[in-house]
Amino acid sequence: MGRMEGRVALITGGASGLGAEDARVLASEGARVVITDVQDDLGRAVAASIPGCRYLHHDVRDEARWEEVVAETLAAFGRLDVLVNNAGLVRFGTIEELSYADYKFQVEVMLDGTFLGCRAAIPHMARNGTGAIINMASVGGMKGISAIPAYAGAKGGIIAMTRSIAIHCREQGYRIRVNSIAPGGIVTPMTAQALAELPADDPGLQQNANHGMGEPADIAEMVLYLASDLGKHITGTNIVIDNGETIA
């Protein structure tokens, strides 16, 4: 039996990149998986490639839709054991260049989406008596990078909010573990598109050259660790996976 046998996982941003790989890894260990996204064609294709996986259209900024997605997951599988708040995007621009609309959009998708997801999932996990939430942060929320003030603010907020939610679950006596993962540069379609937008002399490109780019599996294996009983003694922690980028 796999390490996730009998468990149900809900993964946002599952149509590509990290979310899709998380779904594949968790399903390979026996989990039944629901992926959500706004990229419907890609999402359906990923779900079709994973036995037993379901796809739902889902804008993570929509509070009412969160309740519906959780309800649809429960209707399909009867429980919710793991939530991976993975949906994200980046739009470049320094504090002097970035529009307020682009700032709000990034914060709403990543920080607000994570808040809404945790709030929607926790009551159901509490009734199950156990659960694991993994929030996707970034080294961009830990170090100064001038071109991503909104992305950095959202990801840094996710790290801080994760700790607050983990403490709440402990205070309430819920056996729900809440952690975040902060990847460095990872080879995904979103990262490729983002890096293509940067000028050749951008410090972010030099960082990638110095530390290399990781693979989605590097993150998905940690998601599996935290979601399974292997991570039973870990909560309120931000795990950095960046090949030393933040210590250089």
Which residues have a catalytic role annotated? Answer: 151
Into how many domains does the chain fold?
Answer: 1
Share of the chain above pLDDT 90, in %: 84
In a domain, 1, yes or no: no
Higher pLDDT, 87 or 144: 87
In a domain, 2, yes or no: no
In a domain, 3, yes or no: no
Higher pLDDT, 70 or 244: 70
In a domain, 189, yes or no: yes
In a domain, 165, yes or no: yes
Q: Is 39 exposed, middle or buried (0-12, 13-18, 19+ CB in 10 A)?
A: middle
Q: Domain range spanning residue 110?
A: 8-241
In a domain, 168, yes or no: yes
Tell me what the mean pLDDT of segment 145-161 comes to: 96
In a domain, 248, yes or no: no
In a domain, 33, yes or no: yes
Q: Which CATH number fits the domain that encloses residue 30? A: 3.40.50.720
